[in-house]
Amino acid sequence: MQQRTIKKPIEVIGIGLHKGEPIKLRLEPLDVDAGIVFYREDLALTIPLSPAAVIDTRMATVIGSDKGFISTIEHFLSAVYAYGIDNMRVIVDGNEMPVMDGSSISFCLLLDEAGIEEQEASKKVIFVKETVEVTDGEKFVRLSPSKSAAFDFRIKFDHPVIGEQEEHFDFSTKNFVEEIARARTFGFAKDIQYLQSQGLALGATLQNAIGLDDHKVLNPEGLRFDNEFARHKILDAMGDMMVSGHNIMAKYESFAGSHHLNYQLTTKLLSDSKNYDLVAVEELQSRTFARSFA
């Protein structure tokens, strides 16, 4: 299996979730072994993707430095993970990614339009050799050795619409588009009001998130899946794992995981070479994993 980039540059404009301002997003192809590289056009600031670039995980995954940052990258990166993109330049003219409809499907459509190009170098992935886990009370995130990529997520909210939900997802690009990519982010009306009073979530609407009051879903169209909340958590987790810069061949499991726990997990994984190998897909001898990107 070869490394991948996009065939041609492509642009889109969307609203930023927190500032509520238009953000221009442009994707450009990059050469082999270049990785995923973010660029703040308004600041002429380059931010190569890696856990070392993460500076905040409280409400979203944020990369950058004291010179500037880019927020809410996880929805976009889940599509990058799903399409197996290894090398690409991601250009924005503001401090966050556009939120689109609150899911990843718009980014999938963008990548479809740009087209996928195979490159003259073997694709490398992170092969997990030892189980790595991060806990916070009863909350946990875990990566375990596996011959395929799979995600198990369980959540529990004291809310009549959500309650306890779980989703098991056997990764493939096709399954991602059909089962995960359309799952939207969600928020509670009482929290949104507070955040907006603090100058955050100014772009949040029922067109780009699931809104909930104390009793029900506020979106007139309702939910896209019965367990859309758990599916979105898998979407987030895939994006957060892609912060490592590579697809990960492992089983991911979580109860009530978060961006912060996911960041701690990738950091812990990569901190010790006994935990993983960075290997060419051909060396994995796993046809299931290679076929998942077909």
Active site residues: 259
Q: For residue 242, what are its two tokens?
A: 């892609």
Structure tokens at 73: 């990258």
Query: Which residues make Cβ contacts (< 8 Å) with residue 221, sequence separation at least 6?
Result: none
Q: List beta partners, residue 210.
A: 186
Phi, psi at residue 136, to the nearest 5°? -150, 90
Q: How far apart are CA 163 and CA 173, in angstroms?
A: 29
229 in the Ramachandran plot: left (φ > 0), alpha (ψ -120 to 50) or beta?
alpha
Of the candidates 120, 124, 115, which has an alpha carbon nearest to the alpha carbon of residue 29?
115
Nearest to 250, CA basis, from 268, 225, 231, 224: 268
Residues 6+ apart with CB under 8 A from 148: 170, 171, 249, 286, 288, 289, 292
Instruction: Write down the H helix ranges in 86-151.
Output: 105-114
